[in-house]
Copies of this chain bind each other. A is one copy, B any other.
Amino acid sequence: MNTSLQPAGLPIAAVERDTGLAKDTLRVWERRYGFPQPERDANGERVYPLAQVDKLRLLRRLIDQGLRPAKIIPLELQALTALLDEIGRPRDGGDPERSAQFTAILKFVRLHLHEDLRRSLQQLLMKLGLQRFVCEVVAPLNQLVGDAWLRGELEVPEEHLYTEQIQNILRAAIGAHPAPHSGRPVVMLTTFPEEQHALGLLMVEAAITPEGACCISLGTQTPLEDIRSAASGGRFDIVALSFSSAYPTRQAIEGLRSLRASLPEQVSLWAGGSAVHGAARKLPGITVFESIASLPAALDAWRAAAGVTQP
């Protein structure tokens, strides 16, 4: 019965699990920056007070956003939360009714209300149609969920629940679409190795399938060499890559350049997602998407250039 009250703190392994910071990192921070400064138990092992774990969680989030440890580790908790607020994207400021719906959906996610979540998403899909649903609901919701995660308002299982439900809805909607395997262009969808997020791919598929494109998804984590060989077979018009915000921009750019160089000229290369936003200038010969909403226009442009008309 003593197990339930833990006033002291957490061992290093638990902190690693909670914060995502490796044990080695925790120890080296202590050595270099003087924080965290865990107490020690009877065996000389580190015991992290809960307050320090909270600060570590914030630090982790901020570093994921590109800030550097040396600059933020000395800051007070208050200054860190202020920084997080700054980074949080600007409010959407759109339709108030839509905003209320988003708020409700986020509440369902937080409370694990699978059925309510599913139902409200399904309703929005019905009302808006697949394309608008992706652009006007899924994309902004992703932002909101990402923000909430950043602030620590959501845990892993909640984020997971959200992703799974969106994926289920999109898959069902795409599957229900008529004539999935006919039109042009033929688009290969995939991600680079170490990029696991399948949601971006589904969003692209959902955005362009209604336009008559033929999407073939290779799933996530396709080795570069496999992408190259599949795309060189002459079956594909476009290779589309998706990058989540977690993917290192440098690596994305390098991989895209290398892929572009090894791909036949007549195959277009499209890239989208947080990791490549604003990198268009550095990626000649590659179409970079700043928003999911610009996909249909790009599709039209491709058709015009290729002299293919929509069926």
Contacts and interface: CB of A to CB of B under 8 A. Distances in A.
Contacts of A225: 4-5
A1 interface: yes
A219 to B, nearest CB: 6
A142 interface: no
Given A114-B171, A171-B115, A175-B115, A1 B262 contact: yes
Given A4-B224, A224-B3, A168 B168 contact: yes
A1 B114 contact: no
Contact of A258 (B1, B115, B172, B258): B1
Interface string A216-248: 000110011100000000000000000000000
A18 interface: no
Contacts of A220: 157
Contacts of A171: 114-115
A243 to B, nearest CB: 17
Contacts of A168: 164, 168
15 contacts: A1-B258, A1-B262, A3-B224, A4-B223, A4-B224, A5-B225, A112-B219, A114-B171, A115-B171, A115-B172, A115-B175, A157-B196, A157-B220, A164-B164, A164-B168
Given A114-B171, A157-B220, 5 more contacts: A4-B223, A4-B224, A115-B175, A157-B196, A164-B168
